[in-house]
Amino acid sequence: MNLKLALAALIIAPLALTACSKKEEASKAETEASAPAADEQTTLEQQAKIDALDKPVLDEKNQDVPAEVANAPADAATADAEAH
């Protein structure tokens, strides 16, 4: 019985101490790390490389809906309800 209580105390104590600890230092460090540098600017060459990578390929692998179904006009059942 005492062994079980001691084991439970050893398991619960670190969890309670972690949950109740101050989080100010961690939040300060996190905001400093995530804040962008004010003097760091993107050059035109860097922006060109970013733009080249950021272009998504639209529907290259999305072949589950045939074009005639995807491009068909909407019927009355799927018309916009706010168009009254």
For 50-64, letters b (16+ CB in 10 Å) and e give eeeeeeeeeeeeeee
pLDDT tens readout for residues 38-63: 457 889 999 888 888 887 666 666 66
What is the model's pLDDT at position 11? 92
CA atoms within 13 A on the CB side of 73: 2
Q: Where are the domains of the chain?
A: 1-69
pTM of the predicted model as reported, rounded to 2 decimal places:
0.27
Least confident piece of the model among 8-12, 31-35, 55-59: 31-35
